[in-house]
A = this chain, B = another copy of it.
Amino acid sequence: MSATFSVLSEPAFSMRRAVPAKASWMSASAAEKIPAGVASGGQLLHVAPDAELYSDGAESVSFYKVVSGLVRTCKFRSDGRRQIDAFYLPGDAFGFEDGGRHRLSAEAVCEAYVVAYRWRGSEAMSPADAALAPQLLSLALQGMRRAQDHALLLGRRSASQKVAAFLTDMIDRSVNDDVVELAMSRQDIADYLGLTIETVSRTLSQLERDEMIALPSARRVRVQDRLGLRHLSS
C-alpha cells in the first residue's frame, strides 16, 4: 500500500506514517469545488488511493470534509480483519471525536481531496471555537444518525437485505438517479456490511438475475427496480 497524502496549503501537518509526501498542487478549479464549510480556514489536502489520512489511536488535531473522491473510516481487529465504519462522499464531514485521539483509521478509497479544519475536541474549545459549536453539534448529530443506521443495518438481516440497503443508501446519496458508480471494491463493501466478498458478489449476481439491478461492469450498478430494492431492504 503506497500511503501518501500531501498538504496543499500549510505544510505543518502531523503525519503518522513516514511517507514521501508527493508534491501535487491543486488546480484553481479544484479549489472552487470546496463546499461552503463550517469554518473558513480549512486546509486542503490531497490523499492518494488507499493512503491513510489518520490512523486509529493517532492524536486528533482536525476534523475533515470531503471535497472530492471517497473516504472510508475503519478499524483493524487483532485477527487481521477489517471493519469499515462509514463511507464519506463529497460534502460529508468526518473525524471529529472527543478524547484527543481518533478511534478509527481514515483512508482514501480512491484519490480524494479533503479539507482539514483544526479542532481538538469539545474539551479543548476556545471561545472563538465556541461560536462554531452549534454547527459542529449538527455534524455530530448527523454522524450519530449515520452510525445508528449502520448498526441497524448490521443487526440480524440477511445478506440480500444488507446489500439492497447498501445500494439504496448509495443511490440516495449520489447525484445520479439510477446508475451508481461504486468507487469501493467488493472487499470494502463486504467489510462495511459484515459479509465476505464471495457473499457480496453472489448477492449482486442474484439481484441481477432477479432483474432488480444490472451490472454493466463490476463497479457500475444500474438500478432497474428501485421500489423492489427499497422494499427488500425494508
Contact = CB atoms under 8 A, between A and B. Distances in A.
Contacts of A152: 75, 83, 85
A154 interface: yes
Contact of A133 (B121, B137, B194): B137
Given A144-B147, A147-B144, A194 B78 contact: no
Contact of A194 (B77, B81, B121, B155): B155
Interface string A100-119: 00011000000000000000
| Total identical chains | 2
A33 B21 CA distance: 55
A130 B134 CA distance: 7
- Most chain B CB atoms below 10 A, which of A97, A137, A143: A137
A83 B156 contact: yes
A96 interface: yes
A154 B194 contact: yes
Given A122-B138, A141-B122, A234 B78 contact: yes
A151 interface: yes
Interface size class of A (residues with CB under 8 A): 35 or more
Nearest to A121: B141
Contact of A150 (B81, B123, B151, B234): B151
Nearest to A138: B122
Interface string A143-179: 1110110111011100000000000000000000000
Contacts of A148: 85, 103-104, 147
Interface of A: 75, 77-79, 81, 83, 85, 96-98, 103-104, 121-123, 125, 130, 133-138, 140-145, 147-148, 150-152, 154-156, 191, 193-195, 234
Q: Which 4 A-B pairs have the closest CB atoms?
A: A147-B147, A133-B133, A155-B194, A140-B140
